C-alpha cells in the first residue's frame, strides 16, 4: 500500500513505552494510532462532539497487516481513507508510514457503526460526518 493511495494524514510520535521486548512498537499500539487518527478526523472535519453528540461511532471490527516493524523514536504518519460508506456504517482503511517511506509499514481496517448514544441502536450517519467521510472515499 502506497502513501499516495490515502487522502489525509496525521503525524504520530512514537513513545518509548510503545516498544515491546522485541524492540519494536507492540501490535496493540497500532490500533491506538488508528483510533486516534479516525477520531481526530471526525472531530476536526466532521464536527463530532465526543462528549455531547447524540450519535457516535462504535468500533465493531478491526484488523491490521504488519508489513515491517516500526520502533521508537520513529516519526510516523497515519494515512486515512474510506473504503465503504453505508447508511449507518463506514469501513476505514489506514496506513502507517515512517516519514521517509512511501510504502506502508502496516495497513489496517476499522469498521464504525453509528449509534444513538441514548438508545444504543444503529442510526444513519449524521450529514456533517457523512460529508467528511465522502471527502476521503477511495476511488
Q: What is the DSSP string of 33-53?
A: HHHHHHHHHHHHHH---TTT-
**What is the total residue count of the chain?**
139
**Per-residue model confidence (pLDDT) at position 100:** 87
Name the H helices within 1-139.
27-46, 127-135
- Let me know if 120 is exposed, middle or buried by CB neighbors in 10 A (0-12, 13-18, 19+): exposed
Beta carbons of 127 and 67 less than 8 angstroms apart: no
Mean pLDDT, the chain, whole residue set: 96
**Per-residue model confidence (pLDDT) at position 72:** 96
pLDDT digits (tens, 9 = 90+) for 84-110: 999 999 999 999 999 989 999 999 999
Could you please state the CATH topology (level 3) that the domain comprising 3-135 is classified under: Thiol Ester Dehydrase; Chain A (3.10.129)
Place of cell 489496517: 108
pLDDT digits (tens, 9 = 90+) for 13-22: 999 999 999 9
How is the chain split into domains, by residue range? Answer: 3-135
Amino acid at each position: 500500500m502506497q502513501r499516495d493511495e490515502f487522502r489525509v494524514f496525521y503525524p504520530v510520535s512514537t513513545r518509548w513505552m510503545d516498544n515491546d521486548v522485541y524492540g519494536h512498537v507492540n501490535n496493540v499500539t497500532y490500533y491506538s494510532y488508528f483510533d486516534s487518527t479516525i477520531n481526530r478526523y471526525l472531530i476536526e472535519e466532521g464536527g463530532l462532539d465526543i462528549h455531547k453528540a447524540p450519535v457516535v461511532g462504535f468500533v465493531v471490527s478491526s484488523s491490521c497487516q504488519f508489513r515491517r516493524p516500526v520502533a521508537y523514536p520513529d516519526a510516523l504518519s497515519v494515512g486515512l481513507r474510506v473504503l465503504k460508506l453505508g447508511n449507518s456504517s463506514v469501513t476505514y482503511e489506514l496506513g502507517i508510514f515512517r516519514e521517509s517511506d512511501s510504502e506502508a509499514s502496516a495497513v489496517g481496517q476499522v469498521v464504525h457503526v453509528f449509534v444513538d448514544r441514548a438508545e444504543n441502536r444503529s442510526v444513519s450517519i449524521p450529514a456533517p460526518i457523512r460529508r467528511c467521510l465522502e471527502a476521503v472515499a477511495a476511488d
